[in-house]
Amino acid sequence: MHITFVSIPGYGHVNPTLPLVQELVRRGHRISYATSEKFRDAVESTGAKLLPMPGEMPNRPPGLDPAEMAKVLEGFVTTAREGVAVLEQQLAGDRPDALCYDAMTMAGRFVAERLGLPDIALHPTYASNERFSLRGQLMSNSNQEFPAEYVQLFQRLREICDQLAAELGVKPGNPLEGAPASLNIVFIPREFQFAGDTFDDRFRFVGPSLGSRVVDTSWQRPDGARPLLFISLGTAFNNRPEFFRNCLRAFEDGRWQVAMAVGEQVDPADLGPIPDNFEIRTYFPQPAVLQEADLFLSHTGMNSTLESLYSGVPIVAVPQQPEQEANARQVEQLGLGRRLDGDDLSAEVLRQAVDEVHDDQRIRANIAEMSEKLRGVDGAVAAADAIEAHLNS
């Protein structure tokens, strides 16, 4: 079969799908993958063909500022409108048998309906259904009360999504609320899903699949007996030089060997003297590092959170935006780590939290149990089985 994937141009959205794409190619299917040009190498390494699409992820989190969030939402809908036109043009002479789209990608859902294709939604984070809303969860999990302007923005998002749907002649519905596809592949375990028992057989909780990303010879754990601390704020919202300076102060005493990813927006030269026990890079091959790490000081993006749990690594969470805040609270509630308040990330607070979580045997036992569950299922194989069964039914 020819199957087209459509994804938001973010690592946390593309990376979870690549082992699935590779597995489908291995089974003899032809895969085309619509996303940003910057993912060409990653997509083509799986054997799929890239279909370049417009749109980029914002380079910093909108937070709770209504004006900033309004710009993000406007860009979101504009990209959806442009994406529908581009995708339909690309598929005009090569119609696929099915369309697998990131659940946050309106263009994918709209094109599937407009072309009458089997619709398969891909959820790299929490799924929504008729009884559970990701939008509602994000709002209720915020440490800060959402201002009235922000609530109005969610209402405005619903309105403009419905307007775009009417313009294109498809069913209404925005990506943060219910409206499940015929089949929904969820790349998290049911145990980590809010209201997991409310999801029916349309949803397959396959968990993460790291594929070949755990094998990367570009990084090796340094020799020595010190525990390894991995620090990263992810690939999108990481322009936090003062946070990284506090990490240098917190762990310069040498108890920990530290691998710290600072992203493209922070120059390590601006951070001050680098202690001998630190290795600093723009990015690390994260799954490979987590296979060796003893603790992860993380923004708790869903991709990073699941990779850490898969590898059996406890988490100290420093979330940067609402979805990460929800992940951090799940980590803490399930006894898999600790969430820190973003208003106080001093060197002393960071050092104390990391040391206490590392020494907490209850957390270590919970992490070991979760890791065993995640490693017991090959998410890519389970997802491919579900897609083939759905399309052959």
What is the CATH code for 2-209+378-392? Answer: 3.40.50.2000
Q: What pLDDT, on a 0 to 100 scale, did the predictor assign at position 328? A: 95
| Ranges of residues in the chain whose predicted pLDDT is under 70 | 57-70, 135-136, 138-151, 174-179, 211-215
* Strand pairing report for 119-123 and 2-6: unpaired
The rounded distance, in Å, linking the Cα atoms of 65 and 236 is 18
Angle at 210 between CA 239 and CA 52, to 5 degrees: 65
Do residues 314 and 363 lie in contact, with contact meaning Cβ atoms separated by under 8 Å?
yes
**What pLDDT, in 10s, does the model give residues 24-60?**
999 999 999 999 999 999 999 999 999 999 877 655 5
CATH architecture of structural domain 214-375:
3-Layer(aba) Sandwich (3.40)
Beta bridge partners of 123: 186
* Strand pairing report for 278-281 and 257-261: parallel
Q: What pLDDT, on a 0 to 100 scale, did the predictor assign at position 66? A: 63
DSSP state of 385: H
At 83, phi and psi to the nearest 5?
-65, -40
Do residues 226 and 244 lie in contact, with contact meaning Cβ atoms separated by under 8 Å?
no
**Cα 224 from chain centre:** 32
CB atoms within 10 A of CB 393: 8
The rounded distance, in Å, linking the Cα atoms of 240 and 316 is 17
Q: What pLDDT, on a 0 to 100 scale, did the predictor assign at position 46? A: 96
Domain ranges of the chain: 2-209+378-392, 214-375
Q: What pLDDT, on a 0 to 100 scale, did the predictor assign at position 335? A: 97
Do residues 245 and 270 lie in contact, with contact meaning Cβ atoms separated by under 8 Å?
no
Q: What pLDDT, on a 0 to 100 scale, did the predictor assign at position 238? A: 73
Q: What pLDDT, on a 0 to 100 scale, did the predictor assign at position 139? A: 63
**What pLDDT, in 10s, does the model give residues 88-116?**
999 999 999 999 999 988 899 999 999 99
